């Protein structure tokens, strides 16, 4: 995967700036333009000032890294997360904040992954993108990028105001590992149903200080090993035993995210409980997350979740599926199964309510 650092014409890094921000352009709708036939293709990011001249007036110095071949976010893989994380880590000391331009379809996965990869983070990493290309007259790309840059540069008493991985979209700043894409046709593409916005942008940016994660003052470090031997099993009325068995019998499987009903409820069919128990006894981690966009798993609250708790299914509390998946990938890439069982129910990066 080739990455290049580019010079943005008209924007120069000088000593007389209020902050230094690194931009990583991965692709997505944000940076699309039309070719001669009218089809959408990635544009040359070095021409960003032509599309967004206001960027020169922010009083910021920029470094810009771009994927040499921008990708649709539907093609994102852990290898891309590793590249993004390494760029941030390698340039961490020389920049005040980071903005990642990313397609919306998998942005919540990438934001969640980065939150677990970047241990000891005390600077902003803001992911943003657009529902319409920047060349479109009604594009949301301009406001999203300008405000994301402002947030990435924002300080109070010399410290970053938002020292965590987050998503900025449609005038709201959300914690990255609490976010989900909920809309494909409107500008308010993301929501964090179980956590309040970190900031709202109007005439000024109003930060919700009580909701923003406090830095732990540890040196920043980067975790880049991923274990992707994970499955998502969504329960539905009428789900059949062969389907569940096929998922749980997948070769090399290390963990399953079980998407249950309501507050963690599942059918009480003996065959389902037996299959799940057999998997757990074979050292497969099973994490219970709710299909609901809000609320949380409380195993044992109803009769239909008591058996899950008894056989050793772990509670995902109020984690999103995106957070649970990327958390498991990172944990299983670093630690033993026993350690992962303990850590999955612990709050690592603000992803769950303890």
Active site residues: 29
Comparing CA positions, the residue from 53, 54, 55, 29 lying closest to residue 43 is: 29
Distance CA 181, CA 73 (A): 13
Comparing CA positions, the residue from 252, 230, 233 lying closest to residue 308 is: 233
Give the contacts of 307 (CB within 8 A, at least 6 positions apart): 266, 268, 273
User: What is the chain's Cα-based Rg?
Assistant: 21
Q: 3-class DSSP state for residue 86?
A: helix
Task: Decide the pairing of beta strands 172-175 and 199-201.
Answer: antiparallel
Q: Which two tokens stand for residue 198?
A: 């970190």
Our CA angle for 223, 349, 179, nearest 5°, is 105
Distance CA 329, CA 323 (A): 10
């Amino acid at each position: 995967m080739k990455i290049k650092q580019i010079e943005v014409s008209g924007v120069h890094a000088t000593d007389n700036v209020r902050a230094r921000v690194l931009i990583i352009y991965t692709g997505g709708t944000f940076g699309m333009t039309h070719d001669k036939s009218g089809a959408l293709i990635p544009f040359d990011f070095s021409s960003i000032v032509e599309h967004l001249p206001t960027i020169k007036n922010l009083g910021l110095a920029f470094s810009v890294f771009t994927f040499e071949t921008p990708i649709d976010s539907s093609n994102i893989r852990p290898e891309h997360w590793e590249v993004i994380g390494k760029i941030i880590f390698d340039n961490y000391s020389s920049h005040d904040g980071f903005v990642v331009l990313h397609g919306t379809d998998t942005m919540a996965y990438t934001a969640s992954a980065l939150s677990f990869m970047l241990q000891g983070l005390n600077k902003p990493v803001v992911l943003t993108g657009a529902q319409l290309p920047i060349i479109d007259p009604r594009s949301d790309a301009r406001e999203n990028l300008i405000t994301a840059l402002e947030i990435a540069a924002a300080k109070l008493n010399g410290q970053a105001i938002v020292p965590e991985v987050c998503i900025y979209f449609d005038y709201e700043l959300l914690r990255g590992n609490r976010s989900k894409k909920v809309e494909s046709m409107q500008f308010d593409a993301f929501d964090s149903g179980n956590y309040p916005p970190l900031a709202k942008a109007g005439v000024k940016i109003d930060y919700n200080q009580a909701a923003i994660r406090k830095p732990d003052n540890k040196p920043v470090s980067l975790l880049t090993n991923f274990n992707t031997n994970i499955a998502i099993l969504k329960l539905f009325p009428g789900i059949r035993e062969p389907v569940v068995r096929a998922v749980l019998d997948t070769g090399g499987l290390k963990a399953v995210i079980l998407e249950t009903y309501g507050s963690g409820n599942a059918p009480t069919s003996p065959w389902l409980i037996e299959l799940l128990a057999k998997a757990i006894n074979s050292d497969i981690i099973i994490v219970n997350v709710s299909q609901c966009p809000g609320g949380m798993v409380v195993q044992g609250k109803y009769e239909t979740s008591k058996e899950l708790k008894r056989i050793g299914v772990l509670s995902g509390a109020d984690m999103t599926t995106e957070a649970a998946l990327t958390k498991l990938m990172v944990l299983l890439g670093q630690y033993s199964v026993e350690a992962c069982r303990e850590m999955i129910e612990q709050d690592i990066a603000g992803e769950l309510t303890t």
